[in-house]
Amino acid sequence: MIPNVLLRQAVERALLEDLHAGDLTTEITVIADTAAIGQALAKQRLVACGSQVFASVFYTVDPGLRVEELVPDGSWVEPGQALYRVEGAARSILMAERTALNFVQRMSGIASLTRRYVGELPVGSKTRIVDTRKTTPGLRAFERYAVRCGGAHNHRDSLGAGILIKDNHISAAGGIQAAVTRARELGPHLLRVEVEVESAAELEQALLAGADVIMLDNFELSGIEKAVATVKGRAAVEVSGGVTLERIRLLAEAGVDVISVGALTHSASAADISLELELLGS
């Protein structure tokens, strides 16, 4: 679930974009006491995600509305199937509609793409697919939740959540050995030290320095196979860069422990979901 404080802040900020000047069309055309039922319908096959956010948007606009989840997050949904139901004042439903749909379309799109990546793993594989910090500013918690609904895992959620020594850190620190030594001396003892490498030579340096996790950045498949053989279990092996659906099975079969995929969040298309309104008593 998404922490309430993050949920509330993001929903209020999104509603402010749409409602800072009110909803002129709804206020003019819809009689105040009109009641209605709205159903969010899938227009394509998708993995449902975002029921908590969907409900929060409507309740923020009008606590008197009633919102029902019809499909649990993480479930495959077929075209025409209803995901959520909202009942109450028609004006309130119309005011919240776009914002609520924006959230669940984005989150369901990420969950659906993630499920496709996870589905490419060989049966019984222990390789993990994880996201990255390439997320929409302000929506990271939402998108990381969507990745989990899709069946994958999360990498670190912030710069303070782990030690990941990348190329520019190595340059600024004076080399891999110096960077890892400082990380061991000054970093929290519960955190593992991960080092990004771009060549076989840097891989050897990272192993000698005692890295817990080694990230192979933009390695060809043959280089990844050689790297896994070189590491021999002395560190966890992560692959990053240029990861496509077509490469997932090959990378898992090469023996890597983790595959990080920025595309899960930065390249997912919004799922097609619409809200259909029906007046009560009509």
Cβ pair 85, 76 in contact under 8 A: no
Q: What residue type is assigned to position 157 of the chain? A: D
Single out the catalytic residue among 73, 143, 202, 217.
Answer: 217
pTM: 0.95
Interatomic CA distance for residues 219 and 199, integer angstroms: 8
Task: Answer whether residue 159 shows pLDDT above 60.
Answer: yes
CATH superfamily of the domain spanning 4-117+269-279: Quinolinate phosphoribosyl transferase, N-terminal domain (3.90.1170.20)
Question: Pairing state of beta strands 35-42 and 82-89?
Answer: antiparallel
Distances (CA, A) of 244 to 77, 118, 218, 237, 263: 24, 12, 12, 18, 8
Average pLDDT over residues 6-26: 96
Q: CATH for 153-260?
A: 3.20.20.70
Cβ pair 49, 110 in contact under 8 A: yes
62 is catalytic: no
217 is catalytic: yes
Instruction: Assign 3-state DSSP to the chain and report helix, strand, coil percentages, each to 5.
Output: 45, 20, 35
43 is catalytic: no
Single out the catalytic residue among 62, 87, 98, 253.
Answer: 98
Share of the chain above pLDDT 70, in %: 100
| Domain ranges (residues) in the chain | 4-117+269-279, 153-260
Domains 4-117+269-279 and 153-260 share a fold: no
> DSSP strand E in 193-249: where?
193-197, 213-217, 236-240
pLDDT tens string 173-190? 999 999 999 999 999 998
